[in-house]
Chain A
């Protein structure tokens, strides 16, 4: 069974940093590209970043480019999102999702940016 479990969220002050993790199981993690997708409270979905299976291709939404870094450790079956210079508008539930099609999603982890 494919499982994606996010962690690392919490309350953080504007301008500070936070690193999210997504641990994958039930499939060969190193064979699949992965995404981070977020959802602000009561709002729709926003694609954040993508990384290919071997980390050769990395893409970002303009809203996070230069502030967020997506990475992965295939030996640990783990996807990461390093978030810096956080803003109030980054407050959201952050999901990791497998493949460009988003065929499987985690349950999400909440990030709240507030002073």
Chain B
């Protein structure tokens, strides 16, 4: 199985500052069809996860442009610029290139 390793496990940021989360996969996520099936989600407290980024760098409809995804192969990053209170929660990366599909362990974004 592809192991998705997220770092850090928790992240304390001040409002208005930038946050960066890393997600590394144990195998390349480049599919034979040329796509990289890596998504990012935010799960706010008490809510269902919500899609932020798909195909590693594409922002989902309605997602703030303060969120950006980058990376390729086995190394991926989610950046949140100018952190706002509604950004707090747990962030997950997810790969659906290789079966079985797998999630990262999560990164909890908290206020400093």
Residues of chain A having any CB pair with chain B under 8 Å = 44-47, 50, 59-62, 95, 100-108
Contact = CB atoms under 8 A, between A and B. Distances in A.
A102 B100 contact: no
Interface of B: 1, 37, 39, 41, 43, 48-51, 54-55, 60, 90, 92, 94, 96, 99-106
A101 B103 contact: no
Given A95-B48, A108-B48, A100 B96 contact: yes
Contacts of A107: 48
Given A44-B106, A101-B55, 20 more contacts: A44-B90, A44-B92, A45-B41, A45-B43, A46-B103, A47-B94, A47-B96, A47-B101, A50-B101, A62-B1, A95-B49, A100-B96, A100-B101, A101-B37, A101-B51, A102-B41, A102-B51, A103-B54, A105-B50, A107-B48
The main secondary structure of chain B at its interface with chain A is loop
B73 to A, nearest CB: 19
A95 B55 CA distance: 22
Contacts of B99: 59
Contacts of A62: 1, 100
B52 to A, nearest CB: 11
B60 A47 contact: no
4 nearest A-B residue pairs (beta carbon): A105-B48, A101-B54, A45-B103, A47-B101
Contacts of B102: 47
A106 B60 CA distance: 17
A41 B41 CA distance: 18
A36 to B, nearest CB: 12
Count chain B CB atoms within 10 A of each CB in A47, A59, A104 and give the residue with the most.
Answer: A47
Contact of A61 (B37, B48, B100): B100
B20 to A, nearest CB: 20
Contacts of B103: 44-47
